[in-house]
Amino acid sequence: VEVNSKVSSIIVYGTCYGTTKRYADELARRTGIKAVSYDQVQSLAEYDVIIHLGGLYAGGVWGLTHTVKLMQDEGKQKLIIGTVGLADPTNSENVENIRKSIRRQVPSGLYEQAQIFHLRGGIDYGKLNLKHRAMMSLLYAKVKRTPVEEQSDEVKAMIATYNQVVDFVDFASLDEIVAVIA
Ligand SMILES: Cc1cc2nc3c(=O)[nH]c(=O)nc-3n(C[C@H](O)[C@H](O)[C@H](O)COP(=O)(O)O)c2cc1C
């Protein structure tokens, strides 16, 4: 008889416009693990497994710094990271860029043992706040000056979708995360 052997897990999410929350709520529904916005989380001490889902903003994963700060140093807790971004995660160059930025946000010991997944989000330019609209407008102006043959796939996609509404959310991409939790 196993007593006290139950692994306790939590889904922490960081979202600005709700895309990541859609993934977090679906993952919660499929696993029975509760999903909480990172800014509602004061302590993670009681959890063995922390699943952080966060939107990508200029490389950084929304809320991840907060989650990492609340984790213990001893490496007893398991960290699973799911990024939600506009860039196509089947493109290896995009994935390399995302991982580089996660490495800047997560201490190396934790990074080495973390499991990382990439989900695709969406954007509705009409809903962006002033700061984000300005950031995207500056980025667009900059990348537009890049000769087409020098543009990465990520940049090409950004130019193609600028000022539009796009939604690449695909719940089937959660299967991989469900598989490592179960
Ligand atoms: C200012 C800004 C910066 C962004 N930077 C990135 C990025 O570096 N990489 C990426 O893949 N997507 C980027 N995106 C797209 C978001 O990650 C995407 O819209 C995501 O679905 C947002 O998730 P949320 O709705 O949960 O906040 C950016 C969006 C904005 C507005």
pLDDT (tens digit per residue) in 25-53: 999 999 999 999 999 999 999 999 999 99
Question: What is d(CA 122, CA 20) in angstroms, rounded to the nearest whole number?
Answer: 10
Residue 81, token pair as written in the block: 């990271």
| pLDDT confidence band for 140 (50 / 70 / 90) | very high
Q: Is 59 left (phi over 0), alpha (psi -120 to 50) or beta?
A: left
pLDDT value of position 77: 95
* pLDDT per residue as tens digits for the range 143-155: 999 999 999 888 8
Burial 72-107 (b: 16+ CB within 10 A, else e): eeeeebbbbbbbbbbbebeeeebbebbeebbeebbe
Please list the helix, strand and coil fractions of the chain in percent, rounded to the nearest 5, in that order. 45, 20, 30
Query: Pocket of ligand 1, candidates 13, 88, 116, 123: which has the most ligand atoms within 8 Å of its Cβ, to mutate?
Result: 123
Residue 168 has pLDDT above 60, yes or no: yes
Two structure tokens written together for 8: 């306790």
Q: How far is the CA of 42 from the centre of ligand 1 (A)?
A: 25
Q: Are 55 and 84 in contact (CB under 8 A)?
A: yes
Which of the four pLDDT bands, split at 50, 70 and 90, describes residue 3?
low
Which two three-digit tokens encode residue 12? 């922490």
- What's the CA gap between 8 and 125, in Å, rounded? 38
Structure pTM?
Answer: 0.95
Tokens of 66: 């907060």
pLDDT of residue 4: 59
Q: What is the mean pLDDT of the chain?
A: 94
Q: What is the pLDDT of residue 152?
A: 87
The pLDDT score that the predictor gives to residue 153 is 82
Distance CA 93, CA 135 (A): 22
Integer Cα distance of 101 and 81 in angstroms: 13
Q: What is the pLDDT of residue 165?
A: 97
Residue 5's pLDDT is what? 67
Q: Whose CA is nearest to atom 19 of ligand 1?
A: 123
Place of tokens 């699943």: 51
pLDDT digits (tens, 9 = 90+) for 93-120: 999 999 999 999 999 999 999 999 999 9
17 ligand 1 Cβ < 6 A: yes
89 Cβ below 6 A of ligand 1: no
Is the pLDDT at 2 greater than 60, yes or no? no
